[in-house]
Structures are given as C-alpha cells and as structure tokens.
Amino acid sequence: MAKECPVCGTKIIGRADKKFCSDYCRNAFNNQLNKDSKNLIRNINNRLRKNYRILEELNPNEKTKTTKTKLIAKGFDFQHFTSIYTTKTGNIYYFVYDQGYLPLENEFYALVKRNS
Ligand SMILES: [Zn+2]
C-alpha cells in the first residue's frame, strides 16, 4: 500500500523511507513543528514572567509571608517555576528565577528572594 504525504495527502512514490511527497511539503511540515514549539515556549515564558512579577510585587523586601488566596487572586500559576530547592530539613522552595516561595501550614506561603 502506498504511503501518503502527511501534509498534502499525495501518494508517495519512491524510496520506502521517504516521508513527504516533495521538499516543499517536508519544509512546510518542519516549519509547522517549529512554530508549535515556539508557541509552547512563548506561552510558558509568559506564565513564568507573570509569576515572577506577582512574586516580586508581593515580596518587595526580599522576605515576607502571603496567602494562597492572594497569589491566586493575582493569577499565580503554581505549575510553572524554574527550579526547586530542598533544605536539609526537607522544606521545598519553588523558585521562579530568584523569587522563591515555600508552602507553609494553612495555605500560607513564605516568599524569599535568593541573593546571587
Ligand atoms: Zn505533499
């Protein structure tokens, strides 16, 4: 059975490992892939930037406490951070660049700024 080009649906003639009917379709396919991954990266970067701004705004003096409610009200997204730091005592800080947060009891959060 002849394979079909995933871009235009034309039957592919030629070598068995040929994936596209033409260079044009191969390029179109790869460009679309790049576009999708660029969009993904841009969306995640935007979320990280937003999270960073929220932490910066709530923590102007490098150390404070806040609540989950306040973070969520500002649109904070707990799924997006850049690194995790576990202390010797097992506390886990989540960092968005140099702004970190540590979940405390009763939905409180400690906010810290990491000094470089
Ligand atoms: Zn094609």
From the list 109, 77, 86, 113, the residue with the least C-alpha distance to 97 is 113
Query: How far does residue 3's CA lie from ligand 1's centre (Å)?
Result: 11
- Residue 6 is predicted with a pLDDT of 93
Report the SS3 class of residue 28. helix
Cα of 9 vs centre of ligand 1, distance in Å, is: 6
Q: Is residue 98 part of a domain?
A: yes
Task: Judge whether 5 lies within some domain.
Answer: no
In this prediction, residue 116 carries a pLDDT of: 65
Residue 113 forms beta bridges with which residues? Answer: 99
- Asked whether residue 31 is domain-assigned, the answer is no
Extract the residue ranges of the chain whose pLDDT is less than 70: 1, 116
Containing structural domain, residue 99: 39-113
Q: For residues 21 and 91, give the distance between their C-alpha atoms in angstroms, rounded to a whole number.
A: 55
The single-letter DSSP state of residue 86 is E
In a domain, 25, yes or no: no
Please tell me the pTM assigned to this model. Answer: 0.77
What is the distance in A from the centroid of ligand 1 to the CA of 88? 57
Domain count, the chain: 1
- Residue 106 within a domain: yes
DSSP 12: P
**What is the whole-number distance in angstroms between the Cα of residue 29 and the centre of ligand 1?**
9
Distance CA 112, CA 11 (A): 59
53 within a domain of the structure (yes/no):
yes
Query: What pLDDT is stored for residue 15 in this prediction?
Result: 85
